[in-house]
Amino acid sequence: MIKSLFFCLLLLASLPALAQEQPKEIVYYGFDPDIVTNYISGNRRSLGYIRVTVELMIEDKRYLPAIEHHEPLILDTIIGIFSKQPEDKIKSLTGREEIRLAILEQLQQSMKKEAGEMMIQDLLFTKYLYQ
């Protein structure tokens, strides 16, 4: 009887360690094909184009199904922000970073609204070509 009581107490003492949350595993989600869109070019009001490869840093791999489900919304947000940018912002390094941060902020807000969690930790441009 004492042995089984001791075993039960030992088991109860180990439950908090078992109940701890699994560590989050950061994953990256990319879009295929590359994102291609237009932007307003110069004073002539002609159009330039930009081609980017975007990788999303996702806070936990358990969010991947939600990211895949909301991919059309994510792509629309990215394309919408790029298409409103002036040429000088597209072509400068500081402008590129401002665009990246604007897209990241808008995506985090959209995912919070649609899925209840921000999910996206960061956004990276792995290819950035403009003409």
Residue 15 lies in a domain: no
Q: What separation in angstroms does the CA of 117 have from each of 71, 114, 121?
A: 15, 8, 11
Residue 2 lies in a domain: no
Which residues on neighbouring strands pair with residue 30, listed in sequence order?
55
Reported as a single tens digit per residue, the pLDDT across 10-41 is 455 554 554 456 677 999 999 999 999 998 88
- Domain count within the chain: 1
Residue with tokens 């107490």: 9
What proportion of the chain, given as a percentage, has pLDDT over 90? 72
pTM, two decimal places: 0.79
Residue 91 lies in a domain: yes
Whole-angstrom distance, CA of residue 69 vs CA of residue 2: 55
Residue 7 lies in a domain: no
Between 42 and 58, name the one with better pLDDT: 58
Domain span at residue 36 reads 22-130
Residue 95 lies in a domain: yes
Residue 90 lies in a domain: yes
Under 8 Å CB-to-CB from 128, ≥6 apart: which residues?
50, 52, 53, 96
What is the CATH number for 98?
Answer: 3.30.479.30
